[in-house]
């Protein structure tokens, strides 16, 4: 049997994504009622990049599922240095029920997952942040009732991992996804193509725009992210001036639907991609969104263990 992993948002079909979100809502309502990792079985969580939310929500979530989290900051290990990631994965898979990995290039996740019979979860890569999107979609369901047919506008760095995940996961959830960023910061064409293909099955749609006001116009969900992702600090690009018009402030937010909610995966750079007024305002649901990382990832782990017969 081929092992099912969660390396990109489109590793879940629309039905599977919906099932994981249903389970997440159930687990949120009955927080300590599920123990698929009882034993305890262990889950290894590897970080090549910094984290607060992902690290703590996985650590707490694995414990809440009756398991033992093993959190590894990879700087002091052989992980991916000297020893190949494929070999490291084969070793670690003998110890744990699942692996979670935050890294740089997506090829590193693919290599780790190659040849292992336990599920591997992407905890953020240069290309995608699919666990964040499960939390975002859960939040949208809670606040707006459903995702189907809702307009989601993501403005800012439209070339980054969050933009790609909004395109893929939003399309999978039947949303109308609009992304807008400055010239030179557009999403990868292959991701836009794949998201459009998915949207054609789900009744959603995908648009890549330049004008942030056009993107936000009438939107039900307005989202942004840092203009400088981890690893881009020294890439020589001006990551402030071209982005200024994409700031989520009260003027831009006024273009959205009156009931619109504001998402930000955090950490936020207040005064850059989002103002204090919006971040702390009545439409912001960013702290519920952060909480939902915990519930969504518990559901994802539970679902992946079950589907892989573990």
Q: Which residues are annotated as a binding site?
A: 102, 129-132, 161, 225, 229-230, 265-266, 293
99: contact with ligand NVA by CB under 6 A: no
56: contact with ligand NVA by CB under 6 A: no
120: contact with ligand NVA by CB under 6 A: no
In the list 5, 41, 53, 108, the residue contacting ligand CP (rule: CB under 6 A) is 53
Nearest to 302, CA basis, from 97, 59, 93: 97
Q: Which residues of 201-216 are buried (b: 16+ CB within 10 A; e: fewer)?
A: ebebbbbbbeebeebb
- Among the residue ranges 113-121, 157-165, 169-177, 209-217, the one whose residues contact ligand NVA (CB under 6 A): 157-165
Asked whether 37 and 64 are in contact (CB, 8 A), the reply is no
Q: Enumerate residues 6+ apart whose C-beta is below 8 A from 240.
A: 227, 272
Catalytic site includes residue 9: no
Tokens of 85: 């990631």
Catalytic site includes residue 129: yes
Which residues define the annotated binding site for carbamoyl phosphate? 102, 129-132, 265-266, 293
Catalytic site includes residue 225: yes
Closer CB to ligand CP, residue 20 or residue 131?
A: 131
Q: Determine which one of 164, 178, 247, 265 is catalytic.
A: 265
Catalytic site includes residue 265: yes
Q: Where are the alpha helices (DSSP H) in 206-267?
A: 212-216, 250-253
Q: Determine which one of 8, 34, 102, 164 is catalytic.
A: 102
215: contact with ligand CP by CB under 6 A: no
Determine the Cα–Cα distance for residues 233 and 229; give it in Å rounded to an integer: 7
Nearest to 209, CA basis, from 137, 161, 153, 259: 153
**Minimum Å distance from CB 186 to ligand CP?**
22
Which residues of the shown chain bind ligand NVA in the complex (CB under 6 A)?
124, 129, 160-162, 225-226, 229-230, 265
């Amino acid at each position: 049997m081929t092992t099912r992993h969660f390396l990109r948002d489109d590793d879940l079909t629309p039905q599977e994504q919906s099932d994981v979100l249903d389970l997440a809502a159930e687990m949120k309502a009955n927080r300590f009622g599920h123990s698929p990792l009882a034993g305890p079985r262990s889950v290894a969580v590897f970080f090549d990049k910094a984290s607060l939310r992902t690290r703590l929500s996985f650590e707490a979530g694995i414990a809440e599922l009756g398991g033992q989290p093993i959190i590894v900051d990879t700087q002091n290990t052989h992980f991916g240095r000297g020893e190949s990631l494929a070999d490291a994965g084969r070793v670690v898979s003998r110890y744990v029920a699942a692996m979670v990995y935050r890294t740089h290039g997506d090829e590193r996740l693919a290599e780790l997952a190659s040849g292992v019979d336990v599920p591997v979860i992407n905890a953020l890569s240069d290309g995608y942040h699919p666990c964040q999107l499960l939390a975002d979609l859960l939040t949208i369901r809670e606040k707006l009732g459903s995702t189907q047919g809702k307009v989601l506008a993501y403005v800012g760095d439209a070339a980054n991992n969050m933009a790609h995940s909004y395109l893929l996961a939003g399309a999978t959830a039947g949303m109308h996804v609009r992304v807008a960023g400055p010239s030179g910061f557009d999403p990868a064409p292959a991701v836009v193509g794949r998201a459009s293909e998915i949207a054609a099955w789900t009744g959603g749609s995908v648009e890549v725009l330049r004008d942030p006001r056009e993107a936000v116009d009438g939107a039900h969900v307005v989202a942004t992210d840092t203009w400088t992702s981890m690893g881009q600090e020294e890439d020589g690009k001006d990551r402030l001036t071209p982005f200024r018009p994409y700031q989520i402030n009260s003027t831009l937010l006024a273009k959205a639907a009156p009931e619109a909610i504001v998402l930000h995966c955090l950490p936020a750079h207040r005064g850059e991609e989002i103002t204090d007024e919006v971040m702390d305002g009545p439409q912001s649901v960013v702290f519920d969104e952060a909480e939902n990382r915990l519930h969504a990832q518990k559901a994802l782990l539970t679902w992946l263990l079950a589907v892989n017969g573990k």
